[in-house]
Amino acid sequence: MEAARAGDAGGVVDAMRVWLALWLMLAASAVQAAGTAQTAAPQAPTVVHESALHRRERAIAKTLRCTVCQAESLAVSQAGLARDMRKLITEKLKQGESPAQIRAYFVKRYGDYILLKPPFDPLGAILWVAPFVLFLGLGGVAFILIRRRSRAPAPPPVPPLAPEEQARIDALTRPE
C-alpha cells in the first residue's frame, strides 16, 4: 500500500518536472526572441511629412464630433465611420470646398450636434435655465405660503360641549 502511494508521489513529481521543463523552454524562447529583436538592424525613424491637405483635413476633423464615439472628435476617433468621414473631408477639400462649406455639409446631414462647439441657441439656453427658474419660483411660493400660515391669527378656541351633547356622545361610544 505504501509502495503504491510512493509510486503515486513519484508520478506527481515526474509530472511537475515535465511542467517545469516546459515552462523553462518557453521562458528561454521568449528571452531569445527578445534578444533577437534587440539585435536586429536598427531602423531609421520614420518622418511623417504632413501635406497641407492632411493638415487642413485634421483641422476640420478636430471641430466635428464622431457620431459613433460621441465624446471624441473625428480627428482622434478610430471608429470606421470616423475614418470614412475623414476621407469625405479630404475628398471635399480636393474638390475645392472651403472648411465652412464642409462643416455646413455635415451640419445639414447630422444637425448641430456634429459640431464639438455648437452655436448658441436661445431655445437651448431656455431649456437649460428653465428648471432652475422653476425650482426657485416654487421655492419662493412655498416660502411665502409658510410665512403667511405662521403669521395668521390662531383659530378661536372650541367652545365646550353642552351637558346633553356630552351625554349623547358617551352613550354612543359606550361599549355594549
State the CATH number of the domain containing residue 89.
1.10.8.640
Q: Based on the domain organization, do 109 and 136 belong to the same domain?
A: no
CA-angle at 20, arms to 17 and 25, nearest 5°: 125
Residues 108 and 127 in one domain: no
Task: Give domain status of residue 82, yes or no.
Answer: yes
**Domain presence at residue 101:** yes
135 and 98 assigned to the same domain: no
100 with 71, same domain? Answer: yes
Residue 77: CB atoms within 10 A of its CB come to 22
> What's the pLDDT score for residue 9?
58
Greatest mean pLDDT among 103-107, 111-115, 123-127, 134-138 lies in 134-138
Examine the domain organization and report whether 92 and 134 are in the same domain: no
The number of distinct structural domains making up the chain is: 2
Domain assignment present for residue 4? The answer is no
> What pLDDT shows up at residue 132?
95
The strand pairing partners of 65, in sequence order, are 73
Which pLDDT band, with edges at 50, 70 and 90, does 125 fall under?
A: confident
Average pLDDT, rounded, for the chain: 81
Q: What is the mean pLDDT of residues 109-132?
A: 86
| C-alpha–C-alpha distance, residues 54 and 60, integer Å | 10
| pLDDT of the residue at 35 | 62
How long is the chain? 176
* Alpha-helix residue ranges (DSSP H) falling in the chain: 2-39, 52-61, 80-94, 99-110, 122-151, 163-173
Residues 99 and 70 placed together within one structural domain of the fold: yes
Res 87 pLDDT > 80:
yes
Domain containing residue 88: 52-114
- Determine phi and psi for 65, rounding to 5 degrees: -90, 140
- pLDDT higher at 118 or 80: 80
Q: Is residue 143 part of a domain?
A: yes
Q: Is residue 94 assigned to a domain? A: yes
Q: Is the pLDDT of residue 73 over 50?
A: yes
1 or 53: whose pLDDT is higher? Answer: 53
Give tens-digit pLDDT for 17-61.
887 788 878 777 777 766 655 554 445 444 445 688 888 899 999
| Residues 138, 98 share a domain | no
Residue 29 lies in a domain: no
Contact 78, 88 (CB under 8 A): no
Are 58 and 109 members of one domain?
A: yes
**Phi-psi region at 111: left, alpha or beta (left = phi > 0; alpha = psi -120 to 50):** left
Is the pLDDT at 101 greater than 90? The verdict is yes
Give the count of beta carbons closer than 10 Å to the beta carbon of residue 60: 25
The conformation of residue 69, written as its DSSP 8-state character, comes to T
